[in-house]
Amino acid sequence: MKILIILNDAPYGSERSYNALRLAKSLTKRDPAELTLFLMADAVTCARQGQKPPSGYYNIELMLKAVLRHENSRALLCGTCMDARGLTDEELIDGAQRSDMEALSTATCDADKVLVF
């Protein structure tokens, strides 16, 4: 099964990205054939390396890294959204990659399930 999860919100402030990554991590335990995370808008900052949230708060960077450790998982980031936020490829965690709307449309058409957070 191919699952696409689209994230739109910033890593902190609301819990949408947190909940999306909680679900993604749980899905990796079920070994889906393919899990794609597509980060858009402020969600692209979820993939920024070196996050230091206050003690006692969840760490989106660590959550995303846990999902990407699974061989059938990938994180694609909207390049236009990255540019708008001044986020460079060098600032991304390992496994996250700049992408575009063409890749999102392909992933959407190929997916058996699409979830939007």
Mean pLDDT of 9-31: 94
Q: What letter represents residue 26's amino acid?
A: S
Sheet containing strand 34-39, strands side by side: 96-99, 73-78, 34-39, 2-7, 113-116
Using CA atoms, how far apart are residues 96 and 42, in angstroms rounded to an integer?
Answer: 15
β partners of residue 38: 6, 76
pLDDT of residue 33: 79
- Mean pLDDT, the chain, integer: 96
Binned at pLDDT 50, 70 and 90, residue 30 comes out as: confident
- H or E element that contains 11: none
pTM exceeds 0.75: yes
Are 12 and 53 spatial neighbours (Cβ–Cβ below 8 Å)?
yes
Residue 34's domain is classified under what CATH number?
3.40.1260.10
- Domain extent for 83: 2-116
Domain count of the fold of the chain = 1
